[in-house]
Structure 1
Amino acid sequence: MKKFLLPVFACMALAACNNDDNAINQDIDYSKLPQEFPFSTLKTLNGVNIINGGFGSGATAHPTQKGEFYVITDRGPNVAYSNGIKILVPDFTPTIMHFKINASGNIEVIKYIKLKNPSGQPITGLPNPVGMGSTGEIAYAADGSVLGTDNYGLDSESIVAAKDGTFWVSDEYGPHIVHYSADGVELERISPIGVNTGTRKLPAVFAKRRPNRGMEGMCMTPDGKTLVGTMQSTMYVPTKALATNTTLTRIVTFDLATGQTKQYLYRQDGGASDSVCDITPISNTEFLVIERDGNFGSVGGLKKVYRINLANASDVSGTDLTAVDGMKINGKTLEQSTWDEINAAGLKPATKTLAVDLVAKIGYEHDKFEGIVYLGNNKLAVFNDDDFGVADDGNGNPKTKTLPKTGKQDKGEMYIVDIQ
């Protein structure tokens, strides 16, 4: 078995959590951290090295093996272009990386798991066709030619490892919640009502997610019964122009046994350009949630984690889950309503308190942090998304993504931090 090293900044020696009790594993040796992962080059394009990174869009602890983690990529390296994006490696397959802290205290990759369609063929990160989760995304090749679509394509953003060895993955297309086997083969795809996949469904309103701002975060409650997903930003309900409450986003829960869903409101501190990213459980009702902007931490970026509670939050599902605009207040959608109007209707969002400001706490330098795992005892593992080491040059072409403080190419790291 080959051993690889992942770049890690560790504030102290800690251990991974057990999903039953989030207990710290005191016998794991973290003394050799930080360590650097030797990323290979996936492709070189116009002199830019696209690294085989991207791990950190989502993260989860192994449900039974202490000191082991899973991290996942998104759809692959891409940059903004015209009315869509350039997919720089069109045949890239979204991939799960399983790694552990071994007996020597080193981070060791156990295996890579590529995601596959129900027939066992590797999927791509290409957008879905109309009717299967598309909101009009257009994918281009590096030369500007139009690429096709993929019925099973995924812009994977979050991952849950279940005790039966399978995985649940959420994404920014559909939005979909997809169940994969231990080998990465699709078992079930759960999408909004009206999206032509699967029989179990999310409420129809979720199909109005903002393009490239789908179900950015997802976790499983410690009792193993419920998936909890966070939408990245305000959805376009009823339309982009009319969705004026840009600090409102939604949390959806999915009962794995019954398929029943519930919806809750979450109030962002930022606005339309900021993101609600990963979520990790503390208990069956209490969670930690990422809020961030797109700036690098070393130049004043917003990088915070909030402790939230759904225990007293209102279920805003309404009576008709097939309604494409969801619940309304005085004829207005929730996204059209002010927080004063929402409060006057007796609807309560999730409560929240600041758990940690990563910039203030540790001088966090990256622009993104998209994976978190609660380790128990107010300790948190944080993973950044390095975007495969590439950024947009402003003209629809890739450039090397560098950290402004050090000038080094951005690469994935894992941090361990104390939270309040």
Structure 2
Amino acid sequence: MAASDPAITVTRLTWTDYALDEVETPGGRLRITLGLGSGLARRADDPPGVVWAIGDRGPNIKIGPAVEDHGLTHLSGLAGLEGAKIMPRPAIGPMLAQLRVEGDKVTCLQVLPLSDGTGATFDGLPGPGGDLATMEPAFDLSGAALGHSLAGGDTEGVVALADGTFRVAEEYGPSILVVAADGIVQARWVPKGEGAALAGAAYRVEDVLPAVSARRRLNRGFEALALSPDETRLYVMLQSPLALEDETVAEARGHARLWTLDARTGAPLAEHFYPFDAPETFRRDAEAGSVGPEDLKVSEAVCVGENQLLVLERISATSKFYRVTLDAPVLTKTLVLSTDDWSEIDPDLEGLVLLSDRDLLLSTDNDFGVEGREKAFYRVSFAAPLAEGAGDASA
């Protein structure tokens, strides 16, 4: 599967970032662009090349870069607060976007901000409940705390259903949002025992997810979300092993939890353990500096066949794509693609969707452009279908 492998072709697609705002800082002008690379989805009846994308919580900056790169030295007192972020434009929050892939170009057809039942636009703030360090406190440019929000979330993954609705994976809670075709959040599925903290929300709050999922690591909640071909099941994964892993079974350590859920109710149906590779096998990251198990994460998944997922496992520069079949508690992985073999693919891949049974669309997360990065899209084409045992209909 090296770059010389004729069975795989990689094409970088043309895309132009859409400017949303500019912020003047002592360190210069901060340009904010449309963020929509966290997750990708497609309906079976969508027109050819049409996909949906989700952005994350909104433009945010870690304290270190805010002080050192942007000259916001008055924020240095926040440096010791784990998980703290500066949100230069809190009003820019989670949004869906409809895209079209045509030839070697990607264009944006429409943007759909998420909103609650009152019409209030969703923001990127954490919900109430939990201590501030766990809930990743947010501050504005002056250093004032932005607090919590019932209409907030850090959206990371999305699937699109035939009835026009969406399911959106959210990292803070973690939670799953049930979103109508017009972007209104109808319900929020949360870990059992966590719903009371969201009392008063303008949407249904349902305590249906596994209680243990609330023990996610800092900034490592739900990202990967996939939908079964018949749309009856969701597959959701934590990015990393739990923060407070007290299971006695050895399989729970060094593995990410993968749950199968009822796509209509969120009820858990099954649990699997996804094993991570050794960190030193992510070559581009290892060559750039020290890496450890804490750097490993799962960023995306897509269903490629009945009970088969393609999982995006990565650190930063290196991403690996593994096919797994949900036939055992501990999953066995088959490597399909590693970006170590394709130097033209940028770091920080997060979006993944099938354009056909043998074509993938990948996207990077540019974090709303606050670090000066441009978003990138790639079409990856394979000579044979991605599903195991699917055969080659063209043969």
TM category (shorter chain) comes to 0.7 to 0.9
> Equivalences for 1:148-187 in 2 at 5 Å?
148-187=147-186
> Equivalences for 1:93-132 in 2 at 5 Å?
93-101=93-101, 107-130=106-129
State the distance in 1 between where 2:273 and 2:251 align.
15
Q: Alignment partner of 2:294: what SS?
A: coil
Deviations for 1:142-165, whole angstroms, at most 9, x for unmatched residues? Answer: 222211211121100001111011
Structure ranking higher in helix proportion = 2
Amino acid at match of 1:71: A
Which position in structure 2 is the counterpart of 1:309? 325
> Equivalences for 1:281-360 in 2 at 5 Å?
281-294=303-316, 301-310=317-326, 312-314=327-329, 349-360=330-341
Say if 2:276 is the partner of 1:268: yes
Structure 1 vs Structure 2: percent identity of aligned residues?
30
Which position in structure 1 is the counterpart of 2:14? 35
Say if 2:244 is the partner of 1:237: yes
Q: CA deviation at 1:238?
A: 4.1
State the distance in 2 between where 1:147 and 1:133 align.
11
Q: 1:371 aligns with which of 351, 370, 374?
A: 351
Matched residues, number: 329
State the distance in 2 between where 1:137 and 1:105 align.
38
State the distance in 1 between where 2:349 and 2:130 align.
31
Give ranges in structure 2 of 5+ residues lacking alignment. 1-7, 64-78, 199-204, 280-292, 387-395
8 Å Cα contact 1:54/1:386 also seen in 2: yes
State the distance in 2 between where 1:52 and 1:382 align.
19
State the distance in 2 between where 1:304 and 1:48 align.
35
Q: 1:209 aligns with which of 216, 239, 252?
A: 216
Give ranges in structure 1 of 5+ residues lacking alignment. 1-9, 14-32, 295-300, 315-348, 391-400, 402-408
- Tell me: CA distance 1:155–1:36, structure 2 relative to 1, closer, same or farther (3 Å): same
RMSD, matched Cα: 2.6
Deviations for 1:347-399, whole angstroms, at most 9, x for unmatched residues? Answer: xx111111101231353233x00010123443211110011222xxxxxxxxx
- Tell me: CA distance 1:350–1:39, structure 2 relative to 1, closer, same or farther (3 Å): same
Say if 2:257 is the partner of 1:250: yes
Which position in structure 2 is the counterpart of 1:64? 45
Q: CA deviation at 1:200?
A: 4.8
Q: CA deviation at 1:134?
A: 8.9
Q: CA deviation at 1:135?
A: 3.2
State the distance in 2 between where 1:158 and 1:149 align.
22
State the distance in 2 between where 1:418 and 1:106 align.
15
Q: Alignment partner of 2:341: what SS?
A: helix
8 Å Cα contact 1:279/1:372 also seen in 2: yes
Which position in structure 2 is the counterpart of 1:318? none
* Larger CA deviation: 44-53 vs 71-80: 44-53
Deviations for 1:238-260, whole angstroms, at most 9, x for unmatched residues? Answer: 47xxx997621101111124643
8 Å Cα contact 1:291/1:303 also seen in 2: yes
8 Å Cα contact 1:41/1:49 also seen in 2: no
Amino acid at match of 1:90: P
State the distance in 2 between where 1:263 and 1:206 align.
11
- Tell me: CA distance 1:64–1:208, structure 2 relative to 1, closer, same or farther (3 Å): same
- Tell me: CA distance 1:244–1:34, structure 2 relative to 1, closer, same or farther (3 Å): closer
Q: CA deviation at 1:49?
A: 2.8
8 Å Cα contact 1:63/1:161 also seen in 2: no
Q: CA deviation at 1:95?
A: 0.8
Structure 1 length as normaliser, TM-score?
0.73
State the distance in 2 between where 1:55 and 1:257 align.
25
State the distance in 1 between where 2:143 and 2:345 align.
35
Deviations for 1:250-283, whole angstroms, at most 9, x for unmatched residues? Answer: 0111112464312110101132112111100111
Which position in structure 2 is the counterpart of 1:73? 55
Amino acid at match of 2:88: L
Say if 2:375 is the partner of 1:412: yes
Structure 2 length as normaliser, TM-score?
0.77
8 Å Cα contact 1:134/1:173 also seen in 2: no
> Equivalences for 1:77-88 in 2 at 5 Å?
77-81=59-63, 82=79, 83=81, 84-88=84-88
Amino acid at match of 1:222: P
